[in-house]
Homo-oligomer: A and B are copies of this chain.
Amino acid sequence: MSKDKSVVAMFAVDAAPRIKPSNYPEPFASRMQGREKRQLGDVFGLTNFGVNLTRLPPNSVSALRHEHSKQDEFIYILQGHPTLHTNEGRTQLSPGMCAGFKAGNGNAHNLVNETSDEVFYLEIGDRVAGDEGTYPDDDLMATQVQGTWKFTHKDGTPY
């Protein structure tokens, strides 16, 4: 959604969902099926960080399990009980819970909705240049080239 200068405030659920469901190449993009992101920061023209309202229907995931080299991330659970997967294992979350992922700490993470109810959460990430994404469970690596993510196999060959 492009910036609308006339918006002072809005209900987050009224923001339009992102049109492109995933930036991953296949076969990973299809694994994101059902996930829906509303890019709230963009509505207000923010550029230093992004804030998404993300909806995970049952059996969907937030992302491949990953960590960033430079981007800090933070999540706050609004509704439902997703499971946080990290290097340390599984942690069931509830509304009002939060977690943060410091760039470069090596702890890869994602959220999985293993319940039969919807999950809604806020996710925040900054936009430091030169970020890289690491995916311990998948043959994928991501590098930022002029603000756009480029995905390759771990040996550098393209998808």
Query: Residues on A close to B: CB < 8 A?
Result: 8-13, 40-41, 43-49, 51, 71-72, 74, 76, 84, 86, 88, 91, 93-94, 96-103, 105, 122, 124, 126, 128
Contacts and interface: CB of A to CB of B under 8 A. Distances in A.
Given A49-B49, A124-B124, A126-B126, A99 B44 contact: yes
A126 B48 contact: yes
- Tallying the copies of this chain within the complex gives 2
A41 B46 CA distance: 19
Contacts of A99: 8-10, 44
B74 A9 contact: no
Given A40-B98, A96-B13, A48 B8 contact: no
Nearest to A8: B91
